[in-house]
Structure formats: structure tokens, C-alpha cells
Amino acid sequence: MIKHMNIAIEGPIGVGKTELARMLSNTFDARLILEPQEDNPFLEKFYKQPQRYAFQTQIHFLFERYRLIEQFKQQDLFHKVTISDFIYEKDRIFAYINLTDPELILYEKIWNIVIGEPIKFDLVIYLEARIDVLINRIRKRNRPYERDISIGYLDKLIKAYNEFFYRWNNSPLLVVHTSEIDFVKNPEDYERLVENIRQMKGGRQDFIPSMR
């Protein structure tokens, strides 16, 4: 990797975005930009009362993502790679799941004011997993604000992510099927993924773990 690269990792709740972003940042000696989930004061309330707190939660995330996007625009003289655990377009995935029609109209007006020139990623890595795998991972990490996530909401989110990335054409896309992968416990899978990332030249590719 000679020129500067922007790499983003995406996927539904519990799929392992942040963990993989940290690992890749070490491998590529990259600048790391992470989305601070715990900083949203409405998130726990949203999972308990989604209709009441959806708009506040969404707008808070929108402005936080805008703040992080600005970091991409700042030149980093010490790193040739920047890795993040989000893309700004994810905001709309959640908005169209959670907001009412009047809220969406207002949300789109705010979006058009806040979001300026879009970030061009050199590679987006989309992590996907079965719903039972996500539920187990969410339970294991045991974050207080995630305890009230419903299976119905998680299922809706998975479908929305799959549809979104089925249509994705803004950058090369590497789809990683993570249901049978543990990058921490199985270094071979991680090394294969890193090799795939190094060899990506464009288009869409699927990374499927080898059978054991």
C-alpha cells in the first residue's frame, strides 16, 4: 500500500466491526477512527422505547458521524492508511428503519445541511452473520444499553444492511461471512482476510472461511 487509503468496516450490531478495525489498524499501522456508541445519551432509552426516542437518537448519531467524517478530511502525515468502523451512509439505514414519515422529512433536511462532500473509500468491508450468531455475540459482550434489543429489530436491521450492500457501488466491496469466523482465536482466517484486502483491486468479492 503506497498511496493513502481509506478503509471502512461495516455491518449490523454485534458483528465485530470495532474489534476487526483495531486488528487491521495494527496490521497496517493505520490511523483508527472509531464510532463512540456509549456517548449517545438516548441509545439505551431508544432500545426500551424506540418510537419515543428514535428521532433524538438518530440526530445525535448524525452529528457525531459528521464530526468523525471531518477527521477523514484532515491529512495524516504519519499513516498511509485510515481505518474506521463505520461509513456515514449507515446513518440512513437506521433512519429509514426507525423514523416515521414526518421525522424522515425533517431528517433528510438536516442530512442535506450537515453532510457535504462524501468520503470516497478505497475499500469497504461488510461483515455479515446469522441472527443467532449476532444474538450470542451481543449477549457475551453484555453492554447495558443493548440488553433491550429485540430479535425483531435485529432481524429487520440485518435485512436492511443486506439490501443496502446488495446495491452498493460507491467503492470496492469485500463481503465477509463471519458466522463461522473468530479472527482472534483463528489467526489463519485473519491472515487470509488480510491477504484478500491487500489483493483487492475493485468490484465485489466474498470472503468465506475455509472448512475445518
Cβ-in-10-Å burial (0-12, 13-18, 19+) of 70 comes to exposed
Q: Is 189 a catalytic residue?
A: no
**Number of helices followed by number of strands (H, E) in the chain:** 8, 6
Chain centroid, CA 180 distance in Å: 19
Reading the block at residue 106, the C-alpha cell is 425533517
CA distance to 103, 108, 109, 184, 209, per residue, from 212 (Å) = 48, 47, 50, 16, 9
Grid coordinates representing 102? Answer: 414526518
Copy the grid coordinates of residue 194. Answer: 488480510
How far apart are alpha carbons 184 and 188 in whole angstroms? 10
The residues, ordered by sequence, that sit 6+ positions from 169 with a Cβ below 8 Å of its Cβ are none
Q: Are 180 and 165 in contact (CB under 8 A)?
A: no
Which of 85, 91, 132, 189 is the catalytic position? 85
Instruction: Check the CA dihedral 84-197-122-2 and report its sign.
Output: positive
Catalytically annotated residues: 85
